[in-house]
A and B are shown apart, each in its own frame.
Chain A
Amino acid sequence: MSLRTLAIVGAAVLAMLGPAMLAAQSVGSYNAVTEQRLLNPEPQNWLMYRGNYSGWGYSPLDRITPGNVKKLAPVWSFSTGVTEGHQAPPIVNDGVMFITTPQQQVIALKAKSGDLIWRYKKELPEDLLQLHPTNRGVALWEDRVYVATVDAHLIALDAKTGAVVWDTTVDNYKNGYYFTLAPLVAKGKVMVGTSGGELGIRGYVAAFDARDGKPVWKTHTIPGPGEPGHESWQGEAWKTGGVSVWLTAHYDPQLNLTFWGTGNAAPWPGDMHPGDNLYSSSVIALDADTGRIRGHHQYHWNDSWDWDEVSTPLLIDFKKDGRLVKGLVHPGRNGYLWRLERRADGIRFVDAKPFVTQEVFTKIDPVSGRPSYDPERKPRSGAAVTFCPGLWGGKDWTPAGYNPKTNYLYIPANENLCSTLVGQAGPYEPGKLFLGIDRPKTTMSWRQGASHIGELQAWDMATGQRVWTHKFPYQNWGPILTTGGGLVFLGGTNDRNFRAFDAKTGTPLWEYKTNSGITGVPSSFAVDGVQYVAVQSGWGVDAQRMQARLDTFLGTKTDVPQGGVVWVFALRD
């Protein structure tokens, strides 16, 4: 066969294959994600970061139960082709799954079969610094898919094709601004908060018109001159004071308030930014229409421990002293479980108690919730200060879950870890690390006599008491999924396992060893009446950083393989 003939035959084969390939990549019909659907997500779908606006990480699906979960097995998997932290949940809308990966891919898959529909890859600048090489997922609205990027863009994609509908440059990545969170969509707006607290940014939340990406409002998490709270900063510290927003807000449609967790003040030691430093290490309530700050609660003032209160409180209603409280529940990085009341006129403190050993707070004011500190446990310039929990706290970004059937809150915690920091001031330079510490002298240790680190805890919201704890030998970085079938799912450990527990008793029931360590947010969905559980496995970012610190401390060398894979499980027949 001549080359020319070969080429003609090849072209004919491609022409035949072409339509089939196109058909395999076609989404077919796509069910637009309306405001109403976001307010009341169907049980078979997982339409946003934590499944609902209340941030529960809860699926009402109940086909998979403690009685049959042993039959759970993988039905398909998909390699993303990248390494580092795969933290995004598989978000599912009527049979179409969307995931994001580090290095800014968005991938659409058929949720039942795992077939690829489309893949979007953003070309990233070659000089980008990625302190947190991850992305925490998409937001859906109408026939659009929204992603906030590590080079500070907000992008809308066509849900059917992956084509870019609009691309808004929100900020200049060269100055340390970037996004890791999944956007929040509410009332036709796409809202994002900025990362970059280690790079001396001034944090903010911003909203854009979901139709065209035009800016609507922007609210700084550090008040500027003349704004309430500005007096809680001294001098110029507010300009580079950090207070990042790392995770998606939760939303109360009745109050029209979005609730955002905020990061620590920068640089780390508090004597480098005297004052309470509002609104660092807080929850702030922003009006969804205007961005106006309608309330706040600062969990701890003048942070000195790198305790970002990065997680968003869950919207859980609970009884306290016979009264039903419309609550905000937050297991904090500072190691306390905070219960607050969300109201039209602000946020009120209800109660707080430690969920891990906490040696910094000496008391909590019973009315305001303001903690007092042991000054010897507060890092400062020129002194080596050891504190527990350490800088990754009692729980870092990994979201807790809430199951309305058990009325339990599930916390992925780390116990017994401590850090030592030595404060050392350094100059601010845009886009450079701005930590204020003598880095080589930073160490991690664990409390004398400690038998374990990782924990999965269940807290009864009716009583405010812990009801069970499962312990893991090493760290737990597992976001929580809990289901109407009475299960809790999480990965998070360095042995690559994905696990299921009895939600009521904490009994471990099932585990499966995946390709890598799991720090992905799990989700559950159904297609054609079959319940699936999905998660991305792909170790990296802070789980890997903590592993490196532990290895240094323990004299070990732990190799947790990297590389992202989407896993989807269902019951075997």
Chain B
Amino acid sequence: MRDSPGGPAPVAWPGRRTVLTLALGVGVGLPLARLGGAQDSSARGARPQPNDRFVLAAGERKGRLITLADLPSGGAPLTAYPKDATSGVVRDDSRLNQILLVRLDPRALDRDTSARAVDGIVAYSAVCTHTGCDAWDWQPASSTVKCPCHFSEFDLKASARVLNGPASRRLPALPVKVADGLPVVAGAFIGRPGFESGGG
């Protein structure tokens, strides 16, 4: 299954409070405007690629490039989207591309996490593996993040393993490095971002 850029096309509604004599074609949906051109939609939907930069995913400074100075030690995680270094395309066509970026004490990281980090900067998928929420409550004392939707808690020092709550799988890690004085992607997600919705 793949993302549908712009989302599905909902039904077209009859005039407000107008009872319809239903006519053929009334339910045909109006396609939503696609946010990006067809030319770069695959680049926008692609998962993070090596050498991608990071840009802020939300807030007043949305889209701004994240620098090392934006990641002070002990600061709260930033939510980012990857940005293709060459074309400048921001890969924001899928919410599964959201990335948590934070600088931790390098000495606190476990071996696997340390191998994927640079100067204590670590990155993970920002989409909870339980039911897909993407808001986080930062717990600075423990360097953990807690999902406010169902209270799963992940240890960012240790490969984002699950400490508490209903999630059963860690947040996929994203290797990072420094290039041209910026934090950049060093490799693909370790694992699949998002949650498994299929059942039965």
* Interface residues in chain A, defined as those with a beta carbon under 8 Å from any beta carbon in chain B: 80-84, 101-103, 105, 119, 121, 123-131, 133, 151-152, 168-175, 206, 209, 212-219, 289-292, 427, 429, 431-433, 439-440, 540, 544-545, 548-549, 562
| Shortest beta-carbon distance from A211 to chain B in Å | 9
Which of chain B's residues have a CB closer than 8 A to the CB of A170? 10-11
Please tell me if the beta carbons of A168 and B11 are within 8 angstroms of each other in the complex: yes
Given A125-B1, A173-B8, A440-B137, A216-B19 contact (CB < 8 Å): yes
How far, in whole Å, are A540 and B29 apart by their CA atoms in the complex? 35
Please tell me if the beta carbons of A127 and B94 are within 8 angstroms of each other in the complex: yes
Q: B198 in the interface, Cβ–Cβ < 8 Å?
A: yes
- Please give me the residue from chain B that is nearest to A549 by CB atom: B151
Please tell me if the beta carbons of B19 and A289 are within 8 angstroms of each other in the complex: yes
Please tell me if the beta carbons of A291 and B17 are within 8 angstroms of each other in the complex: yes
| Shortest beta-carbon distance from B23 to chain A in Å | 9
Which of chain A's residues have a CB closer than 8 A to the CB of B60? 427
| Shortest beta-carbon distance from A541 to chain B in Å | 8
| Shortest beta-carbon distance from B60 to chain A in Å | 8
| Shortest beta-carbon distance from A536 to chain B in Å | 13
Chain A: interface secondary structure?
Answer: loop
Q: B191 in the interface, Cβ–Cβ < 8 Å?
A: no
How far, in whole Å, are A240 and B24 apart by their CA atoms in the complex? 33
Interface string of B1-13 (1 = CB under 8 A from A): 1111011111111
Please tell me if the beta carbons of A217 and B27 are within 8 angstroms of each other in the complex: no
A102 touches which one: B134, B135, B139, B199 (CB < 8 A)? B199
How far, in whole Å, are A295 and B146 apart by their CA atoms in the complex? 43
Please tell me if the beta carbons of A218 and B16 are within 8 angstroms of each other in the complex: yes
How far, in whole Å, are A206 and B94 apart by their CA atoms in the complex? 29
25 A-B pairs within 8 Å (CB atoms) are namely A81-B200, A83-B199, A101-B200, A102-B199, A103-B197, A103-B199, A119-B200, A124-B197, A125-B3, A126-B1, A127-B94, A127-B96, A129-B134, A131-B133, A133-B131, A152-B8, A173-B7, A174-B7, A214-B27, A216-B19, A219-B17, A433-B148, A439-B148, A544-B150, A548-B165
* Interface residues in chain B, defined as those with a beta carbon under 8 Å from any beta carbon in chain A: 1-4, 6-14, 16-20, 22, 26-27, 29, 32, 58-60, 94-96, 131-135, 137-139, 146, 148-151, 164-166, 194-195, 197-200
- Please give me the residue from chain B that is nearest to A289 by CB atom: B19
| Shortest beta-carbon distance from B42 to chain A in Å | 16
Q: A103-B198, A168-B11, A172-B7 are in contact. List 10 more A-B contacts (CB 8 A).
A: A103-B200, A130-B197, A169-B9, A169-B11, A173-B8, A214-B26, A433-B133, A439-B137, A439-B148, A545-B150
- Please give me the residue from chain B that is nearest to A82 by CB atom: B199
Which of chain A's residues have a CB closer than 8 A to the CB of B131? 84, 129-131, 133
A80 touches which one: B1, B4, B13, B199 (CB < 8 A)? B199
Which of chain B's residues have a CB closer than 8 A to the CB of A133? 131
How far, in whole Å, are A178 and B94 apart by their CA atoms in the complex? 18
Please tell me if the beta carbons of A172 and B10 are within 8 angstroms of each other in the complex: yes
Which of chain B's residues have a CB closer than 8 A to the CB of A549? 151
Given A103-B198, A131-B131, A289-B19, A123-B1 contact (CB < 8 Å): yes
A126 touches which one: B26, B96, B164 (CB < 8 A)? B96
A125 touches which one: B4, B9, B149, B151 (CB < 8 A)? B4
Which of chain B's residues have a CB closer than 8 A to the CB of A152? 8, 10
Please tell me if the beta carbons of A130 and B132 are within 8 angstroms of each other in the complex: yes
B166 touches which one: A101, A175, A433, A562 (CB < 8 A)? A562
Please tell me if the beta carbons of A215 and B27 are within 8 angstroms of each other in the complex: yes
B194 touches which one: A126, A151, A431 (CB < 8 A)? A126
Please tell me if the beta carbons of A215 and B199 are within 8 angstroms of each other in the complex: no
Interface-central residue, B32, B60, B199, by most chain A CB under 10 Å:
B199
- Please give me the residue from chain A that is nearest to B194 by CB atom: A126
Please tell me if the beta carbons of B8 and A169 are within 8 angstroms of each other in the complex: yes
Please tell me if the beta carbons of B132 and A432 are within 8 angstroms of each other in the complex: no
Which of chain A's residues have a CB closer than 8 A to the CB of B150? 544-545, 548
Please tell me if the beta carbons of A432 and B96 are within 8 angstroms of each other in the complex: no
How far, in whole Å, are A103 and B130 apart by their CA atoms in the complex? 12
Please tell me if the beta carbons of A218 and B134 are within 8 angstroms of each other in the complex: no
CB contacts between A and B, total, < 8 Å: 144
| Shortest beta-carbon distance from B191 to chain A in Å | 14
Which of chain B's residues have a CB closer than 8 A to the CB of A562? 166
| Shortest beta-carbon distance from A125 to chain B in Å | 7
How far, in whole Å, are A128 and B132 apart by their CA atoms in the complex? 7
- Please give me the residue from chain A that is nearest to B57 by CB atom: A429
Given A128-B132, A131-B133, A439-B148, A172-B200 contact (CB < 8 Å): no
- Please give me the residue from chain B that is nearest to A173 by CB atom: B7
How far, in whole Å, are A206 and B137 apart by their CA atoms in the complex? 35
A169 touches which one: B3, B10, B195 (CB < 8 A)? B10
How far, in whole Å, are A105 and B198 apart by their CA atoms in the complex? 9
How far, in whole Å, are A216 and B22 apart by their CA atoms in the complex? 8
Given A103-B199, A289-B19, A127-B95 contact (CB < 8 Å): yes
Which of chain B's residues have a CB closer than 8 A to the CB of A101? 199-200
Which of chain A's residues have a CB closer than 8 A to the CB of B95? 127, 129, 174, 431
How far, in whole Å, are A131 and B128 apart by their CA atoms in the complex? 11
Given A215-B14, A215-B26, A548-B150, A432-B197 contact (CB < 8 Å): no
Given A127-B95, A127-B132, A128-B132, A217-B200 contact (CB < 8 Å): no
Which of chain B's residues have a CB closer than 8 A to the CB of A540? 166
| Shortest beta-carbon distance from B165 to chain A in Å | 7
Which of chain B's residues have a CB closer than 8 A to the CB of A209? 22
| Shortest beta-carbon distance from B1 to chain A in Å | 5
How far, in whole Å, are A9 and B107 apart by their CA atoms in the complex? 64
A544 touches which one: B3, B58, B148, B166 (CB < 8 A)? B166
Which of chain A's residues have a CB closer than 8 A to the CB of B133? 129, 131, 433
Please tell me if the beta carbons of A548 and B149 are within 8 angstroms of each other in the complex: no
- Please give me the residue from chain A that is nearest to B198 by CB atom: A103
| Shortest beta-carbon distance from B130 to chain A in Å | 8
| Shortest beta-carbon distance from A200 to chain B in Å | 13
| Shortest beta-carbon distance from A562 to chain B in Å | 7
Which of chain B's residues have a CB closer than 8 A to the CB of A83? 166, 199
- Please give me the residue from chain B that is nearest to A290 by CB atom: B19
| Shortest beta-carbon distance from A170 to chain B in Å | 6
Please tell me if the beta carbons of B149 and A131 are within 8 angstroms of each other in the complex: yes
> Can you list the 8 inter-chain pairs with the closest CB atoms, starting with the nearest?
A82-B199, A172-B7, A130-B131, A174-B7, A81-B200, A103-B199, A548-B151, A214-B27
Which of chain B's residues have a CB closer than 8 A to the CB of A130? 131-132, 195, 197
A214 touches which one: B8, B16, B22, B149 (CB < 8 A)? B22
- Please give me the residue from chain B that is nearest to A169 by CB atom: B8
B12 touches which one: A81, A123, A215 (CB < 8 A)? A215
How far, in whole Å, are A427 and B138 apart by their CA atoms in the complex? 18
Given A168-B27, A172-B32, A214-B22, A121-B59 contact (CB < 8 Å): no
Please tell me if the beta carbons of B11 and A432 are within 8 angstroms of each other in the complex: no
Given A105-B200, A126-B3, A439-B137, A171-B151 contact (CB < 8 Å): no
- Please give me the residue from chain B that is nearest to A198 by CB atom: B149
Given A129-B132, A433-B135, A171-B199 contact (CB < 8 Å): no
